[in-house]
């Protein structure tokens, strides 16, 4: 097939038989559930935009395996231009959805496994890279969505995986047969889990020899026997059950995370890409971290564009757009947002070729990018809420707005600039609430802070990549000192 349409994607989700629990109940119709559907719409946008000629350059790539046109989300980067187009694509999708569109982690996982399997094979004479390419060919041909399952529960974080009181605190191999392996455990915070066709399991940390049962990477269909999903709640999520539109804030799109439980799940040998090679777990984490941390320079700047636009509109609607302090706040928001994008472009432009032939972003700049992402959106949200005023959190409900008696009062007392409809102001305020406090804040603020690792993880990598000895020598050379 190569390139799915939006409709093809929804049809493919309906053919899945996922075991999902939400609010203590088993959910049968996942695709059309009012809480899940907006997140599926966000993923569908990655298919819909790929069909438009004006976005073809960003969303379509050529497979290095088959030479055919594929969705860039299934592509292995083979140049700096690929890395740059990825960032531009993510910004575009952030602008179109104002939320997490959920295919980034899977794309970054594909590129990580492509790179590391090649390196493992070179070291140990395994055939993981060949297995992975067969899997990748399938993903590209069918234009599938992959979720990246990396983060384990981790239990007592003072201890390594093999030292845990509960051995299932990290996902592990519990059995091996001639045909494959059996895995048990859980993965947390998995973005787009319910909207994915495949799960790519990755180790979450460096491992020791005694942790080799936990050193596993593999891929399984998302509706495999033994896989269960527990939906992650988001602030204001039940507003989607009320049947309205205004109070939701972002009526068409949303993000989604879930806890995935793997209860003795069988993985065919051809879908196993690492099993016991503990020496390469840290390599997986570092490569995935670099790819995914650079991604945030694209998607979060796209969301930032929407938030800046909403803040500017509210200023127009309230008659404050020409106030010097409002204009200065919008300038500051723009400055912060463009800095994120610049970091994403910079680490891509400074990317280099891997032994596998793929391209990896500059790891130092990627971690600088993500460290900024953990800060700047929070300041942008503060400025946006400052511009919007208190109504962003005290606005009456949509039912009050549509009430035959109360609606007239709200039309009267929520009016801003006379020539702007009160309803327009209410819609934008709710969008701002969604992005800064509600379900949309998960894909903007929470992901900005914790996605792809917390800020301390980036600081650790920045220290490793800083090359202080080189900088010391530069200073010695200029100052003409030997020590």
Q: CA-CA distance, 375 to 37, in Å (whole number)?
A: 30
* Catalytic (active site) residue 427: no
Q: Residue 199, SS3? A: strand
- Residue pair 184/264 in contact (Cβ under 8 Å)? The answer is yes
Long-range contacts of 413-420 (CB under 8 A, 24+ apart): 416/317, 416/318, 416/319, 417/316, 417/317, 417/318, 417/319, 420/316, 420/317
Exactly one of 119, 257, 277, 398 is catalytic; which is it?
A: 257
CA dihedral 176, 182, 185, 189 (to 10 degrees): 120
Exactly one of 33, 197, 292, 372 is catalytic; which is it?
A: 292
Exactly one of 191, 422, 436, 439 is catalytic; which is it?
A: 191
- Residue pair 295/84 in contact (Cβ under 8 Å)? The answer is no
Q: CA-CA distance, 255 to 102, in Å (whole number)?
A: 7
* Catalytic (active site) residue 257: yes
Q: CA distances (Å), 57 to each of 78, 272, 301, 407, in order?
A: 15, 33, 20, 47
Exactly one of 9, 64, 100, 372 is catalytic; which is it?
A: 100
The CA angle 284-289-292, to the nearest 5 degrees, is 120
Q: CA-CA distance, 63 to 142, in Å (whole number)?
A: 13
Exactly one of 119, 286, 398, 447 is catalytic; which is it?
A: 447
- The first and second tokens of residue 1, run together, are 């097939």
* Catalytic (active site) residue 245: no
Exactly one of 9, 104, 278, 343 is catalytic; which is it?
A: 104
Neighbouring residues of 262: CB distance < 8 A, sequence distance ≥ 6: 171, 183, 184, 185, 186, 187, 201, 226, 227
Q: Residue 298, SS3? A: helix
Give the residue from 373, 380, 365 showing the smallest Cα distance to 454: 373
What is the distance of C-alpha 30 from the center of its chain?
21
* Catalytic (active site) residue 292: yes
- Residue pair 453/355 in contact (Cβ under 8 Å)? The answer is no
- Residue pair 148/108 in contact (Cβ under 8 Å)? The answer is yes
Exactly one of 218, 236, 281, 299 is catalytic; which is it?
A: 299
Q: Residue 250, SS3? A: coil
Residues annotated catalytic, as ranges: 100, 104, 191, 257, 292, 296, 299, 447
């Amino acid at each position: 097939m190569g390139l799915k349409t939006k409709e093809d994607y929804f049809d493919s989700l309906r053919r899945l038989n996922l075991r999902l629990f939400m609010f203590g109940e088993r959910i049968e119709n996942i695709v059309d559930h009012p809480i899940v559907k907006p997140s599926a719409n966000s993923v569908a946008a990655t298919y819909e935009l790929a069909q438009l000629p004006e976005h073809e350059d960003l969303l379509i790539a050529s497979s290095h395996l088959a030479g055919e046109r594929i969705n860039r989300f299934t592509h292995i980067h083979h140049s700096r231009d690929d890395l740059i187009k990825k960032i531009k694509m993510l910004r575009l999708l952030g602008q179109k959805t104002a939320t997490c569109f959920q295919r980034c982690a899977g794309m970054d996982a594909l590129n990580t496994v492509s790179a590391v399997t090649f390196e493992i094979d070179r070291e140990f004479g395994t055939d993981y890279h060949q297995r992975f390419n067969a899997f990748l060919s399938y993903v590209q041909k069918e234009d599938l969505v992959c979720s990246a399952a990396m983060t384990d529960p981790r239990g007592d974080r003072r201890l390594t995986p093999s030292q845990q009181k509960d051995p299932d605190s990290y996902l592990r191999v519990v059995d091996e047969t001639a045909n494959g392996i059996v895995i048990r455990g859980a993965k947390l915070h998995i973005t787009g889990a319910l909207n994915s066709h495949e799960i790519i399991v990755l180790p979450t940390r460096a491992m020791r020899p005694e942790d080799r049962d936990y050193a596993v990477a593999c891929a399984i269909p998302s509706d495999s026997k033994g896989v269960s999903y527990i939906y992650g709640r988001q602030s204001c999520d039940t507003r989607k059950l009320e049947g309205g539109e205004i109070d939701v804030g972002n009526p068409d799109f949303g993000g989604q995370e879930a806890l995935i439980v793997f209860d003795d799940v069988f993985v065919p040998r051809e879908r196993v890409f690492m099993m016991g090679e503990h020496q390469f777990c840290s390599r997986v984490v570092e490569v995935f971290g670099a790819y995914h941390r650079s991604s945030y320079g694209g998607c979060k700047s796209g969301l930032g564009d929407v938030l800046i636009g909403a803040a500017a509109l509210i200023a127009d609607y309230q008659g404050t757009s020409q106030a010097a302090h409002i204009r200065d706040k919008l300038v500051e928001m723009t400055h912060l947002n463009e800095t994120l994008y610049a970091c994403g472009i910079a680490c891509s432009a400074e990317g280099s070729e891997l032994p596998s032939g793929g391209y990896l972003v500059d790891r130092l700049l990627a971690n600088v990018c993500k460290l900024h992402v953990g800060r700047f959106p929070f300041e942008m949200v503060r400025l946006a809420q400052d511009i919007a005023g208190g109504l962003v959190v005290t606005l009456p409900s949509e039912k009050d707005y549509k009430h035959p008696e109360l609606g007239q009062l709200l039309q009267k007392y929520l009016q801003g600039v006379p020539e702007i409809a009160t309803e327009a102001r209410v819609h934008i305020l709710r969008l701002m609430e969604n992005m800064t406090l509600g379900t949309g804040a998960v894909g903007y603020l929470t992901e900005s802070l914790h996605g792809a690792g917390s800020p301390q993880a980036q600081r650790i990598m920045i220290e490793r990549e800083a090359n202080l000895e080189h900088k010391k020598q530069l200073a010695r050379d200029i100052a003409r000192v030997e020590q």
